[in-house]
Amino acid sequence: MGRTLLDKVWDLHKVASLPTGQDQLFIGLHLVHEVTSPQAFQALADRGLTVLFPNRTFATVDHIVPTDGQRRPFADELAEQMMRAIEKNARTHGILFFGNTDDQGIVHIIGPELGLTQPGMTIACGDSHTSTHGALGSIAFGVGTSQIRDILATQTLSLSRPKVRRIEVTGALAPGVTAKDLIIRIIADLGVNGGIGYAYEYGGPAISALPMEARLTMCNMSIEGGARAGYINPDSVTFEYLKGRRFVPTGGDFDKAVRFWKSMASDADAEYADTYALDGNTVEPMVSWGINPGQAVGVTGRLPRVSDARPADKEALAKAYDHTGFEQGRTIQGLPVDVAFIGSCTNGRISDLREAARVVKGRKVSPRVKALVVPGSRAVLRQANAEGLPEVFREAGFEWRDAGCSMCLAMNPDKLTGRQVCASSSNRNFIGRQGSPHGRTLLMSPAMAAAAAIAGEVVDARQVLPAGGGNGRS
């Protein structure tokens, strides 16, 4: 029987079998940001330990940085303190720090962008959206701060091998349907806890057809379905994406790298714990209405009624309505929004901004809506500048910001207030996630969020797009 990519990566990186029954796994790439790492560096210092492989850890800042001017010191003293801590820790341990450079950005945007993320790697970061990096055919997962300490000290982790679920998406996504819609649909189908104990392997014709940035969006939200890791087997799209990026080998070494990367893909006869099949043609633009990403409906659909729900889901639905106050059974279209946020590690890449700009161009943001665009990295920002995107957004009435996590989790000054409803291209609609304990988040694609900003309510972006329609494959 053949092996999956997960099996191959696992076996290559296995250091030892541990007395607990777990495996000790070498972590090929360790990414750190300012929020979850200072306590780990302190733990290292407390024990008199050093970083074992400082050149396999890379650092950035994203969560706490302001996006309306990043001059130092930051106005928020706590943010400034966190920034100083990561600067000091990186300097002390000889870790490359991108936070003060033109490469600053969200950790899951810059890893692939710089070519640090490569097929066949094990990748860990103190951030649950580390699953993003699986889009390039790596095994990538979020860890807690104690595990960051372990990686810094040993470049390894104690882990149990997950099961692999093959998620086979046949057919093709219809025009105007994006990777964001597909992954939300998968989470809605399998549940927010359906992936516990699994890594998701996404494959099939509809996945192979996705460009790299769309694949990153898919894998990013694996964790929202409970799967700590999600990946796509490396193929020509992957190799083309990587070629020429800064940390990727060149010349003959690139050819060697490609041979290695190809060898790590799942075998045709690989064995999976189980398989879930979905017809890509049946996916429509998705919008979340509740308090977890699985509580979502197609844009032409209606919010569910608690009375119609399966017994096990009734309580969660009731809790969601208790928070949102939305009317059961209403259409999702026409739901008024107060804020539109385009950005995040899910949808803050250049193709996302292009998709949104196509909707926005020549139109005006509804007077009831505060709308902002936050590029995922300074590189995305530069590319957007080169394409004239800031002007498109600004003319329409959007605020155009600097790179960071921003209103995805509201650790910087970008927050919802009161009971505002936000059309958001981010990844979580948890209670309080966007900074107001009473705020409400509707997750959707960047094009859908842009369309909601213009209309002042949820609309079907496919009916707003210029002739030709978008297919999320910029």
The footprint of other proteins on residues 340-369 (CB under 8 A) is none
By CB under 8 A, the count of residues binding other proteins is 87
Asked if 403 and 353 touch (Cβ cutoff 8 Å), the reply is no
Q: How far is CA 196 from CA 145, 163, 219, 270, 393, in A?
A: 20, 9, 15, 21, 39
191 versus 456: smaller Cβ distance to other proteins? 191
- 361 versus 438: smaller Cβ distance to other proteins: 438
Contacts 24+ apart (CB under 8 A), 301-306: 301/331, 301/332, 302/329, 302/330, 302/331, 302/332, 303/327, 303/328, 303/329, 303/330, 303/331, 303/332, 304/328, 304/329, 305/329
45 binds other proteins (CB under 8 A): no
Sign of CA dihedral 85, 87, 89, 95: positive
Helix boundaries (H) for 27-76: 38-46
223 versus 455: smaller Cβ distance to other proteins: 223
Touching other proteins, residues 377-436 (CB under 8 A): 409-411, 428, 430-433, 435
- The answer to the question of residue 329 lying near other proteins (CB under 8 A) is no
The string over 340-359, giving b where at least 16 C-beta atoms fall within 10 Å of a residue's C-beta and e elsewhere, is bbbbbbbbbbbbbbbbbbbb
Residue 47 touching other proteins (CB under 8 A): yes
Among 66, 111, 142, 375, binds other proteins (CB under 8 A): 142
Report the residue from 21, 69, 367, 388 that binds other proteins according to the rule CB under 8 A: 21
Place of tokens 């394409």: 387
The footprint of other proteins on residues 59-88 (CB under 8 A) is: 63-64, 76, 78-79, 81-82, 85
Asked if 46 interacts with other proteins (CB under 8 A), we say no
Which residues have C-beta within 8 Å of that of residue 358, sequence separation ≥ 6?
447, 465, 466, 470
Q: Does 140 bind other proteins (CB under 8 A)?
A: no
Q: Taking the complex as a whole, how short is the minimal distance between the CB of residue 229 and other proteins, in angstroms?
A: 10
Q: Which stretch binds other proteins (CB under 8 A): 37-45, 173-181, 326-334, 466-474?
A: 37-45
> Binders of other proteins among 208-247, rule CB under 8 A?
223, 226, 228, 246-247
Q: Which is nearer to other proteins, 211 or 432 (CB)?
A: 432
Q: Is 113 in the site for other proteins (CB under 8 A)?
A: no
* Residue nearer to other proteins on the CB measure, 256 or 364: 256
- CB nearer other proteins, residue 409 or residue 454: 409
**How many whole angstroms separate alpha carbon 61 and alpha carbon 158?**
27
CA-based nearest residue to 178, from 376, 387, 347, 379: 347
Nearest CB to other proteins, comparing residues 249 and 456: 249
> Which residue in the set 135, 257, 449, 452 belongs to the binding site for other proteins (CB under 8 A)?
257
Taking CB under 8 A as the criterion, the residue among 39, 92, 331, 333 binding other proteins is 39
Residues 6+ apart with CB under 8 A from 100: 87
What minimum distance in Å lies between the beta carbon of 452 and other proteins? 23
Would you count residue 328 as binding other proteins (CB under 8 A)? Answer: no
CA distances to 12, 78, 86, 139, 176 from 81, rounded to whole Å, are 39, 5, 9, 32, 43
Q: Residue 204 and residue 44: Cα distance in Å, rounded?
A: 44
309 belongs to the binding site for other proteins (CB under 8 A): no
Determine, following the binding rule CB under 8 A, whether residue 127 of this chain makes contact with other proteins: yes
- Out of 8, 108, 133, 149, name the contact with other proteins by CB under 8 A: 149
- Does position 92 interact with other proteins (CB under 8 A)? The reply is no
Peptide bond into 367 cis (omega under 30): no
CA distances from 37 to 119, 121, 448, 472 (A): 25, 21, 35, 35
Instruction: For tokens 């209103």, name the residue.
Output: 407
- HSE of 294, CA atoms in CB hemisphere, 13 A: 18
Q: Which stretch binds other proteins (CB under 8 A): 203-211, 252-260, 327-335, 377-385?
A: 252-260
Nearest to 335 by CA among 421, 451, 457, 448: 457
Length of the chain: 474
Q: How far is the CB of 232 from other proteins (least distance, A)?
A: 18
- Measured from the CB atom, is 27 or 454 closer to other proteins? 27
Report 156-195 residues binding other proteins (CB under 8 A): 156-158, 160, 192-193
Positions 286 through 305 that interact with other proteins (CB under 8 A): 291-292
